[in-house]
Amino acid sequence: MPAEHSAQESRPNSLPLVGPAHPLCYISHMKPASIVTNLSVLLLFAAAYFLNTYDQPLYYLSVQEDEHLEWATFWGFIIAGAVYFKHAWLQLKSSRTFAWFVFGLSLFCFLVALEEISWGQRVLGYRAPDFFLAENFQQEFNLHNVVDSSARKLVLQMILLGYGVILSALSMWPPATEIMTRFRIVAPPPMLIASFLTMFIFYTWYPWSHTGEWVEAAMGLGFVYAATIPAHLDRNRDASLLARRLFIVFAVVWALAILTVLTLRLLLPADPDKIQRAQAEVTALQADLNSADLPTRCGIHKRLYTFMRDYEQPYLIEGEFAELVKTSGDVARADYLLDPWNSPYWLRLKCRSGREATFVYSFGPNRRRDSSEWMLKADDIGGDLLVAP
């Protein structure tokens, strides 16, 4: 048996470390796959630009929690984490070598996915521990919103630039490749440099509100592509087949996102008793807020607990709402201004070009914001305020 053939057959059936996955000689043959990966990321930002420019209400709804964009982010990272874990396990099984970096990537992807949906808090409707209700500005069960926003932004920029661009570029330099191979460090394929650089630019530039939501969805695609490409190249150098496979990955991520949103809308119960309680609590909050001296300022849209702390409005946990909720024995909801589904109550004070929107509201039984910037919609439960901003 020729030595070359023997070496090829002895290669472990797992994610290669560096070098074999994406040597320089592959790059000129990877144009179809490169087009699929980079175009899919560019199309995502093009969609953001189009919606923000021509359909602001739809843009506003698309970046809300538990909508298609967030679930696409979740599924992108979950699939990437599963693929990385499979490769780490196969390498351990076949060569008794612990692929620590690949395992770390798997753990990172799973963590990001679960943090994105706050560990299922809104889906399951459970109450976050008191620490997160008090210290997490979104009052959700996740760690990333406990950290200062500037620190979060810096970490994300370092991942996009350091891992997605610099490490990938270094993998094309033979001396760096040797070091990566020795320490079992896996760089993203070079064809993804343009995608990760695009994400970094948009996240740093932040041209639209909630740009970060689009960057996170693009990151989910970037990581699932980075997990898929090296394994394919290790087994099959057919560039057109790789392009089709990556397109299927893209389609699966978005199909799962759409299916998840539709399923949750069908399965989450209405629960008439909680709806009645929420309506009574909103009435009590209206009375508390209407009797207060609200800040004369447009553009306030905050969780009621955050509003109470930022604008020193302690009556909100001492007034009619608190008394009503505490009579049912639910002190935590009264202290943290939560609705019967353990989601925060919100306050909207908005005015622009003669229009006003002043109301307090709950996300309702589906635990998802359905209201627009100007009015209550769908199953959101709320009431208008008499005090205009």
Residue range 354-385, pLDDT digits in tens: 778 899 999 999 988 999 888 999 899 999 98
β-strand partners of 358 = 349
The boundaries of every CATH 3.30.700 domain in the chain are 273-384
- Asked if pLDDT for residue 2 goes beyond 70, the answer is no
pLDDT at site 32: 83
Residues whose CB is less than 8 angstroms from the CB of residue 252 and which lie 6 or more positions away in sequence, other chains included: 75, 79
**In angstroms, rounded to a whole number, what is the distance separating the alpha carbons of residues 117 and 257?**
12
pLDDT at site 124: 86
pLDDT at site 325: 94
Phi then psi for residue 259, to 5 deg, are -65, -40
Helices 31-54 and 193-205: crossing angle, nearest 10°? 20
Please say whether the beta carbons of 382 and 360 come within 8 A.
yes
**In angstroms, rounded to a whole number, what is the distance separating the alpha carbons of residues 349 and 301?**
6
Q: What is the DSSP letter of 338?
A: B
**In angstroms, rounded to a whole number, what is the distance separating the alpha carbons of residues 181 and 186?**
8
Determine the longest span between alpha carbons in the chain, in angstroms: 89
- Asked if pLDDT for residue 269 goes beyond 90, the answer is no
Phi then psi for residue 344, to 5 deg, are -70, 145
Confidence of residue 329 (pLDDT cuts 50, 70, 90): confident
CB atoms within 10 A of CB 324: 18
Structure tokens at 189: 């394929």
Please say whether the beta carbons of 191 and 34 come within 8 A.
yes
Region of 303 on the Ramachandran plot (φ > 0 left; ψ -120 to 50 alpha; else beta): beta
**In angstroms, rounded to a whole number, what is the distance separating the alpha carbons of residues 267 and 238?**
43
- Asked if pLDDT for residue 169 goes beyond 60, the answer is yes
Phi then psi for residue 303, to 5 deg, are -60, 145
Q: What is the DSSP letter of 49?
A: H
Distances (CA, A) of 5 to 2, 19, 165, 172: 5, 18, 34, 25
**In angstroms, rounded to a whole number, what is the distance separating the alpha carbons of residues 279 and 204?**
42
Confidence of residue 29 (pLDDT cuts 50, 70, 90): low
Please say whether the beta carbons of 232 and 87 come within 8 A.
no
Please say whether the beta carbons of 116 and 74 come within 8 A.
yes
**In angstroms, rounded to a whole number, what is the distance separating the alpha carbons of residues 174 and 176?**
5
Phi then psi for residue 256, to 5 deg, are -65, -40
pLDDT at site 77: 98
- The percentage of the chain sitting over the pLDDT mark of 70, rounded to a whole number, equals 88
CB atoms within 10 A of CB 121: 19
- Asked if pLDDT for residue 179 goes beyond 90, the answer is yes
Between the ranges 158-167, 182-191, 229-238, 347-356, where is the mean pLDDT highest?
Answer: 158-167
pLDDT at site 233: 56
| Domain boundaries 273-384, corresponding CATH code | 3.30.700
In single-letter form, the type of residue at position 270 comes to: A
The pTM for the full model equals 0.86
pLDDT at site 9: 38
Confidence of residue 296 (pLDDT cuts 50, 70, 90): low
Distances (CA, A) of 232 to 10, 84, 106, 240: 17, 13, 18, 11
